[in-house]
């Protein structure tokens, strides 16, 4: 780069930064309370829009001054709608309030903003004994995390580019434009960053391959096609801090020599689509995208493409065909996309989390990034923790943290005093690991060795009431439906796998089914074309390996030990505990299967019962009269007698 162009870049960015800092100063130095409301999809689904409206209405009604600052997801998805109130004149630090309904919003304005009472009983993590208000960073969800990609999530307004710039946003792009492409690629390669989309391919090596290809036009694609059940990392990042992803895309494009880029995001993410589209427009208005970025000779145009929601389009060659207007189906490689990709042009595809990791790496240096995580898996990993865990949500941890620490220390462990049974890692194609693997470090190599995979970051925690055969059937049902059908092993093999699992969950398993599951799974992994088929049998193989006794119970005893498979379970009433005249169970039964016996106690018509379990939930705890058993043959005789509840027993 020549000195004159570098000076022009510095001057243009300094003017933008000065404007952002002036706006930030006006925001932070005002004495008016700031009300930060999480407005990502998880917050909105829990009622954040109603909460925001309630704050606006009560503030106007009471003529109180306050600034409502919409932010993205802070990671505490279990506590949404989340509100942080920073009231400078109160003498308190910023206070974190969980589950803020419209009614609670009105109460906080009246009692806290109006009368100075922060309402300790409503503060997350506060203790009434010592009246201490904990800092947000003291919560386990934060003090054991290491936030790099998610550092600004939940703190900035994702729809205000100046909020991001005031937090050193786009400063790394300005710095990168004054370096040579080779310097950037060498730094990324030295950091050891590996692709966060699941494959874990070294990012610097991919960029170097793209850089060395001579072509008139190259294309960068951000892969935000997140289709795993229970996974929402990429969506949340785009909704909470889209500019860090855009900045990473711009740096990538400059390094590899591309002037066009595409954000591929599924159309089921309307909020993410709207926010990232607006972010691109804002960056173009400030000269951070478009022609002659920051006065340099670098041009970049970014478009947003909405995918139709096919899971297989997470595979890069299927994604490319989708953009081109064809049905998303993987193709044989080589040639690889970096050689011949979108519109037959060299194309580099990186995941949302990979691209968002680039600005911090270039800003702090490769050595800084190398010090985080493990030797072969540097940096952090972001997981969406769902299932039977107390504090579900998004977590960003250093690579190498154990599964035990993540599930029990950071996410609070298993609710309702249940026992941990298994964790499924890596999305629908990941593996199911039992408690023997709780001390396994979370990194690419350790998880693969255990039979699971890092994947894109989905993690499902399961307690003792989970049937592993049903879990395998559930994930196989998903991957079989999402198969593009191109290769026989995946199209037909997963179909037969699913049919066997369906038989097992219905008590129709045959001798030899378990060995057939294992053989068929291995053939599918060996013969499938793309990653979907190669990994689809993972839940079957791992659950069969670590929970074989459950499979054998389904086959040999026609019994579900976890009492989860409907066809293998039944409900009945313990007549010694059932209360006379209590109709809680009968009134909630959707199919009128609960009848009254001759002594005014309850029974279940097994032919009508659909095994929904509503009677179990409705039965008062002081009676605890409903029983669930497997196999159904264990139901006492009175529950099997014919007749209607009107006739009595």
* Closest of 562, 549, 396, 539 to residue 471, by C-alpha: 539
Burial 478-507 (b: 16+ CB within 10 A, else e): bbbebbbebbebbbebbeebbebbebbbeb
Mean per-residue pLDDT of the chain: 92
Q: DSSP string of 514-543?
A: HHHHHHHHHHHHHH-SSHHHHHTTHHHHHH
* Residue closest to 346 by CA, chosen among 329, 334, 362: 334
- As given in the structure block, the two tokens for residue 624 are 């605890």
Task: Fill in the DSSP letter of residue 88.
Answer: G
Q: Best-predicted range by mean pLDDT among 141-145, 193-197, 237-241, 325-329? A: 237-241
Q: Is residue 559 within 8 Å of 568, Cβ to Cβ?
A: yes
Q: Mean pLDDT throughout 635-640?
A: 72
What is the model's pLDDT at position 636? 85
DSSP strands (E only) in 484-638: 570-573, 594-596, 602-604, 626-629
pLDDT higher than threshold 50 for residue 644: no
Q: Which of 473, 530, 540, 537 is nearest to 505 (CA)?
A: 473
DSSP label at residue 109: I
Rounded mean pLDDT of 405-428? Answer: 93
Could you list the beta-strand ranges (E) of 315-416.
347-351, 380-387, 393-398
Phi, psi (degrees; rounded to nearest 5) at 290: 100, -145
d(CA 474, CA 494): 12
Residue of 549, 581, 575, 558 lying closest to 629 (CA atoms): 558
Cβ atoms within 10 A of the Cβ of 29, count? 8
Token pair in block for residue 228 = 């795993």
Pick the closest to residue 156 from 177, 170, 138, 173 (CA basis): 170
The DSSP call for residue 126 is -
Distance CA 199, CA 193 (A): 12
Looking at the chain, the whole-number percentage of residues with pLDDT higher than 90 is 78
What pLDDT is recorded for position 638?
Answer: 62
pLDDT, tens digit (0-9, with 9 covering 90-100), for 562-602: 999 999 999 999 988 998 778 899 999 999 999 988 888 88
Place of tokens 């890692």: 425
pLDDT digits (tens, 9 = 90+) for 579-588: 877 889 999 9
Do β-strands 570-573 and 626-629 pair in parallel, antiparallel, or remain unpaired?
Answer: antiparallel
Q: Looking at residue 129, what is its pLDDT?
A: 47
Nearest Cα neighbor of 242 from 19, 21, 72 is 72
DSSP bridge partners of 386 = 460
pLDDT band at 640 (very low <50, low <70, confident <90, very high): low
Q: Does residue 451 surpass a pLDDT of 50?
A: yes
Asked whether residue 647 carries a pLDDT value surpassing 50, the answer given is no
Query: Would you place residue 302 in the very low, low, confident or very high pLDDT band (cuts 50, 70, 90)?
Result: very high
User: Highest-confidence range of 36-50, 77-91, 476-490, by mean pLDDT?
Assistant: 36-50
In the numeric block, the tokens 């189906």 are attached to 329
| pLDDT at residue 519, rounded to an integer | 95
Residues in the chain: 649
More confident residue, 369 or 3: 369
Instruction: Name which of 352, 430, 356, 353 is nearest 387 in CA terms.
Output: 430
* Residue 441: per-residue pLDDT: 95
Q: What's the rounded mean pLDDT across residues 48-72?
A: 96
Q: What pLDDT does 128 receive? A: 46
Closest CA to 320 of 280, 351, 300, 349: 349
pLDDT at 645: 46
pLDDT reported for residue 429: 82
pLDDT grade for 138, boundaries at 50, 70 and 90: low
Write down the pLDDT at residue 649.
40
CB 43 within 8 A of CB 82: yes
């Amino acid at each position: 780069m020549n000195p004159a162009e570098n000076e022009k870049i510095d001057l243009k960015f300094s003017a933008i930064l000065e404007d952002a800092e002036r706006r930030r100063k006006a925001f932070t130095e005002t004495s008016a309370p700031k009300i930060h409301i999480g407005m990502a999809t998880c917050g909105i689904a829990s009622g954040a829009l109603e909460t925001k409206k309630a704050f606006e209405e009560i503030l106007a009604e009471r003529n109180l001054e306050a600034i409502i600052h919409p932010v993205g997801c802070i990671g505490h998805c279990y506590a949404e709608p989340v509100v942080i109130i920073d009231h400078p004149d109160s003498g308190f630090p910023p206070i974190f309030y969980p589950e803020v309904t419209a009614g609670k919003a009105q109460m906080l304005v009246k009692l806290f903003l109006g009368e100075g009472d922060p309402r300790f009983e409503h503060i997350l993590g506060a203790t009434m004994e010592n009246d201490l208000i904990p800092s947000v960073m003291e919560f386990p969800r934060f003090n054991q995390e290491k936030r790099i990609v998610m550092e600004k999530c939940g703190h900035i307004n994702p729809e205000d580019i100046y909020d991001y710039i005031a937090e050193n946003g786009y400063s790394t792009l300005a710095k990168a434009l004054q370096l040579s492409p080779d310097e950037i690629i060498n730094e990324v390669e030295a950091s050891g960053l590996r692709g966060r989309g699941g494959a874990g391919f070294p990012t610097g090596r991919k960029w170097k391959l793209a850089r060395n290809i001579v072509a008139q036009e190259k294309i960068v694609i951000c892969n935000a096609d997140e289709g795993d059940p229970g996974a929402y990392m990429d969506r949340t990042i785009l909704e909470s801090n889209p500019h860090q992803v855009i900045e990473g895309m711009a740096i990538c494009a400059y390094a590899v020599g591309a002037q066009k880029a595409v954000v591929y995001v599924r159309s089921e993410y309307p909020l993410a689509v709207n926010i990232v589209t607006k972010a691109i427009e804002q960056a173009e208005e400030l000269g951070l995208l478009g022609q002659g970025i920051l006065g340099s000779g670098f041009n970049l145009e970014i478009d947003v493409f909405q995918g139709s929601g096919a899971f297989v389009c997470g595979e890069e060659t299927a994604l490319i065909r989708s953009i081109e207007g064809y049905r998303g189906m993987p193709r044989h490689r080589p040639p690889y996309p970096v050689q011949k990709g979108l519109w037959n042009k060299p194309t580099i595809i990186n995941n949302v989390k990979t691209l968002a990791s680039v600005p911090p790496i270039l800003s702090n240096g490769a050595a800084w990034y190398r010090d985080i995580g493990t030797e072969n898996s540097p940096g952090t990993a972001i997981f969406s923790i769902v299932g039977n865990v107390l504090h579900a949500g998004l977590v960003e941890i250093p690579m190498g943290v154990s599964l035990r620490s993540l599930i029990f220390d950071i996410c609070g462990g298993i609710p309702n005093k249940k026992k941990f049974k298994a964790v499924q890692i890596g999305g629908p194609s990941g593996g199911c690991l039992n408690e023997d693997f709780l001390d396994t470090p979370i990194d690419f190599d350790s998880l693969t060795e255990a039979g699971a995979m890092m994947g894109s970051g989905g993690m499902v925690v399961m307690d003792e009431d989970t049937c592993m055969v049903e879990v395998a059937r559930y994930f196989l049902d998903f991957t079989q439906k999402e198969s593009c059908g191109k290769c026989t092993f995946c199209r037909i093999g997963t179909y037969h796998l699913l049919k066997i699992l369906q038989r097992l969950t219905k008590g129709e398993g045959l001798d030899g089914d378990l060995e057939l599951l294992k053989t068929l799974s291995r053939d599918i992994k060996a013969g499938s074309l793309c990653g979907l088929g190669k990994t689809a049998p993972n839940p079957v193989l791992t659950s069969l390996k670590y929970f074989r006794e459950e499979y054998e119970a389904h086959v040999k005893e026609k019994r579900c030990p976890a009492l989860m498979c409907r066809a293998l379970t039944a409900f009945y009433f313990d007549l010694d505990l059932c209360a006379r005249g209590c109709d809680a169970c009968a009134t909630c039964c959707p199919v009128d299967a609960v009848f009254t016996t001759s002594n005014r106690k309850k029974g279940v018509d097994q032919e009508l019962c659909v095994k929904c379990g509503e009677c179990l939930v409705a039965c008062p705890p002081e009676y605890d009269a409903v029983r669930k058993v497997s196999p159904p043959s264990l139901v006492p005789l009175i529950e099997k007698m014919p007749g209607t509840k009107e006739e009595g027993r």
